[in-house]
Structure 1
Amino acid sequence: MSLKSVVTGARLCVAPLRQAAAARLSTSARHGVSYSPVPKPLQGKMKLFQTDNGLPVHVRGGPLDKMLYAITAVVCTVGLIECFHVYYVLSYTAKKD
């Protein structure tokens, strides 16, 4: 028997053992984890945002969410316009006399 065949045989035997050990470690690690309870106000918000009521997520919070969404859209639009304005100014500089 050559050394190469012995090494190949050992690798074939060790690979399933490594996979089994990794599976045992990953499942046993989950059992020891304990999480703190979710506060009541957060539970209410979770129910509100996870129910399927036909509204997009960004407006489920009511009028405040609608206002914040509108302000964000306006700020992004103004920023995009200003970005193109800067490109225009940098591309077409004023002629020097």
Structure 2
Amino acid sequence: MLAPELLEELRTIAYCNAAKPKNRVSALVELAKESVDSSKVRKTLYELATDINTPDDQKVRAISLLSKLQAKDPPKELDADEAKALQQSLMEQYVGTNRTNS
């Protein structure tokens, strides 16, 4: 996993309309690899793929990545409490509990 400051750099490039499409698509590829901002990455890729100002080679690259990322249901965004509860539930389900009766 990348350091938070590096993820922020990627986000800055990926979501900045003034950045070159080639750089934006490259940054989006890296964000996708890190499974960060999944729905926003897909939305931005779609925008780049359908923008008349995006060069054809970058449109193709964006469409290719978009096809790999498509899912029937968008990923569920969890807040910290939901994530912790889910993690605990999965740990108990697959690892078991370490509770002893004294």
What is the TM-score normalised by the length of structure 2? 0.19
Q: Whose relative contact order is higher, 1 or 2, with alpha carbons under 8 Å and at least 6 apart?
A: 2
What is the TM-score normalised by the length of structure 1? 0.20
Point out the structure with the larger helix share. 1
Highest CA radius of gyration, 1 or 2? 1
